[in-house]
Amino acid sequence: MLYRAVLDRVADLERVGQRSEALHTRAEATRVYSKSWDEGAMRRLTALCRRADRVMAGVQRPRTARPVRGHAVNGSRRPLATR
């Protein structure tokens, strides 16, 4: 039920144009939910809901998009480092 609440907040964030925040929230919720379910996971999912609520209320600034690793800002590929 808590995971579903986070996903509802993700949809709300997307609806108000906070796509970067929604993307981060969804990824974090999925990561937390896919591991063992314990008090820590419950706290983390609750915190994600609260953060989304604060962002939508304008109390907290949303996260900003960051370039994907291995790509330049203009979209062209940069060579990856060799091992």
Give the amino acid at 80.
L
Q: What pLDDT, in 10s, does the model give residues 6-65?
A: 999 999 999 999 999 999 999 999 999 998 889 999 999 999 999 999 999 888 777 766
What's the pTM value of the predicted model, to 2 decimals? 0.71
Q: How far apart are CA 76 and CA 63, in angstroms?
A: 24
Give the amino acid at 82.
T
Give residue 83's pLDDT: 46
**In this predicted model, which residue has the larger pLDDT, 74 or 19?**
19
Residue 72 carries which DSSP code? -
Q: How far apart are CA 3 and CA 19, in angstroms?
A: 19
Q: Which residues pair with 18 in a beta bridge?
A: none
Give residue 64's pLDDT: 67
Give residue 50's pLDDT: 95
25: phi > 0 → left, psi -120 to 50 → alpha, else beta; which?
Answer: alpha
**In this predicted model, which residue has the larger pLDDT, 67 or 26?**
26
